[in-house]
Amino acid sequence: MAKFRSSRHDHEILLADWLEAEELAAWYMREDLGMSAARVTGSGNDRGIDVVADSAVAQVKHVSVPVGAPVVQAALGAGHGNEAVLFFSLSGYTRQAEEFAARAGVCLFQYDIYGDVRARNDAARELVANRKSASSAQDTGLNQLRAKAAPALARLETVRRTADTLATSLEHAADLGNDDRTLALITGLYAQFYEKRDSRWGYPASEESIEAGWAELVLKTVRGNVRVSRAAVDAGVHELIELHDELGDLDRLRQLTAAQWLRALSDWEFRWNRARYLMTCSYFPPTENEPPLETFELEAVIDMSNGGKFNHAVASRWIDGPTRSGDPENCFAAAQIDPVGRGADYCLRLLEDFWGMDFSGAEDGKPAYPLGWSQKDVDSLRRIVD
């Protein structure tokens, strides 16, 4: 499927059929009109609607004759209840269709086989103008947020430099296999990424976040009515799926040096916190266009900084020799899979001796998994988001 870009750029696009025309309309609505949730409905059951977005629908006609008034009228009826009804036509519109659209407020667009789209009536031009105005205001707001996030980003960079400096020193340290303290730290910190399946961050919560982010008109009561960013939720889920795969790649983990473990744990911690924020806190007012993903990523860093997470990052805990934290059942589950390649019993003894844990009865509890997701859960989430 063609990657759409205007013929004003380097590569021209030749639209082969109506399927690509529908994809072009959805792409244009997302990229040029700010309707980030716009998607093709798929053939068969669209009832005259080819593209849907939050509070907007569109019909596409990839035909060689101008579209008439009855077809535009039918699209308006199919889109009843939406704030905007759009129509995209390859060959333009009859005079009667344009007159009806003017009275009814249907936004008429025309495209060509090279991927160029242009507004054909006042309603469409107003929609484009409103988007440009909103985009300008959004750019101003994003620049202000970047300035606000600068101290938090600076702290994040300090945390990363600390981890890198410590990792570099570990590269010249004694053999990892002879250092129980290091192995215990690695096993204990690794275990903090484990949760029970029904935990706050487990599969049910993830599925709920996806459903909220993908709903057409989602309203949640969080200091008033707000909408959920589908793009942010989607990014968070994909991040956590990738993180889950890395946490479960035992063949690779068992080959890591202490320095490599430290870098991995530090990276996982930041990505875990950012992804959870994207999935659960990506709200915006229903009266505004959906902000770009960068907005929520910056807010996530600010939240981490304000919440003190940078004060207790992996490198700091490694240096300070932390006291035990975390659920013994989660630690038991993590030790059982032997992430450091020394055997499950050895890992359990490390946690018992260094972290002072009591695992009596832990094996009788509910099983824990990386991020609270079993492999079955992850496969299910992959099917949803892909």
Q: What is the pLDDT of residues 249-300, one digit of tens each?
A: 999 999 998 899 999 999 999 999 999 899 888 888 877 777 888 999 999 9
Determine how β-strand 368-370 pairs with β-strand 194-196.
antiparallel
Q: What is the mean pLDDT of residues 13-33?
A: 87
Eight-state DSSP code of residue 193: T
pLDDT band at residue 48 using 50, 70 and 90 as cut-offs: confident
Q: What digits encode the pLDDT tens for the residues 368-379?
A: 888 888 888 888
DSSP labels for 61-86?
Answer: E--SSPBPHHHHHHHHHHTTTSSEEE
Please tell me the distance from the alpha carbon of residue 31 to that of residue 290, in angstroms, as a whole number: 12
Tokens of 146: 């970047």
> According to the model, what pLDDT value does residue 36 have?
76
Please tell me the distance from the alpha carbon of residue 66 to that of residue 95, in angstroms, as a whole number: 9
In the three-class reduction of DSSP (H, G, I as helix; E, B as strand; rest coil), residue 90 is classed as coil
Tokens of 64: 């060689």
What are the angstrom distances between the C-alpha of 77 and each of 47, 132, 265?
Answer: 10, 28, 55
Q: What digits encode the pLDDT tens for the residues 138-197?
A: 677 788 899 999 999 999 999 999 999 999 888 876 665 568 888 888 998 999 898 877
Tokens of 261: 């473990």
Please tell me the distance from the alpha carbon of residue 347 to that of residue 370, in angstroms, as a whole number: 17
> According to the model, what pLDDT value does residue 312 have?
83
What are the angstrom distances between the C-alpha of 347 and each of 194, 278, 337?
Answer: 15, 33, 9
Give the predicted TM-score (pTM) of the model. 0.66
pLDDT band at residue 218 using 50, 70 and 90 as cut-offs: very low
Tokens of 144: 């202000």
List the domains of the chain with CATH numbers: 18-120 (3.40.1350.10), 135-385 (no CATH)
User: Which position has the higher pLDDT, 161 or 214?
Assistant: 161
